[in-house]
């Protein structure tokens, strides 16, 4: 319930101002930005995601640390399951091929 999942804003949608494509350890999903409308993230920003909504902007270092915390808490797998489940009613958007800093930090956690 209290999972806060770090993600990297990789794409904004001009026709959907309240949504962004977010990358979490290589899994890309559409996330709602409505709760950050006072301080909208831009491409390249890092955010904490909770139940499919970006809750706060964070630094890249904190994003990597947060993924490490999830791994230490034994919750990285659960977090990835949650992210993969986002938009289960959508078409699967895409999986990225390039390793990201988060992916590096989460290695070995989802095994």
> CA neighbours within 13 Å on the CB side: how many for 93?
20
Nearest to 47 by CA among 17, 20, 82: 20
Least gap, CB of 58 to other proteins (angstroms): 6
Encoded tokens for 42:
């831009």
Is residue 62 part of the contact set for other proteins (CB under 8 A)? yes
Is residue 22 part of the contact set for other proteins (CB under 8 A)? no
Judged by CB under 8 A, the stretch of 7-15, 20-28, 77-85, 94-102 that binds other proteins is 77-85
- Asked if residues 80 and 102 have their Cβ atoms less than 8 Å apart, the reply is no
Q: Give, as ranges, the residues between 29 and 58 that touch other proteins (CB under 8 A).
A: 32, 34-38, 48, 50-53, 55-56, 58
* CA dist., res. 66 & res. 17, Å (int): 27
Residues at the contact surface with other proteins, assessed by CB under 8 A: 1-2, 4, 32, 34-38, 48, 50-53, 55-56, 58-59, 62, 65, 68-69, 71-75, 82-83, 85-90
């Amino acid at each position: 319930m209290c999972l806060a999942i770090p993600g990297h804003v990789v794409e904004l949608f001009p026709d959907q101002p309240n949504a962004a494509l977010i990358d979490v350890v290589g899994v890309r999903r559409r996330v709602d930005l409505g709760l950050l409308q006072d301080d909208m993230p831009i491409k390249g920003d890092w955010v904490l995601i909770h139940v499919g909504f970006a809750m706060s902007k964070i630094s890249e270092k904190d994003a990597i640390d947060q993924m490490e915390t999830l791994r230490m808490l034994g919750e990285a797998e659960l977090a990835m399951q949650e992210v993969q489940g986002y938009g289960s009613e959508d078409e699967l958007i895409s999986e990225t091929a390039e390793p990201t800093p988060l992916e590096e930090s989460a290695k070995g956690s989802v095994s």
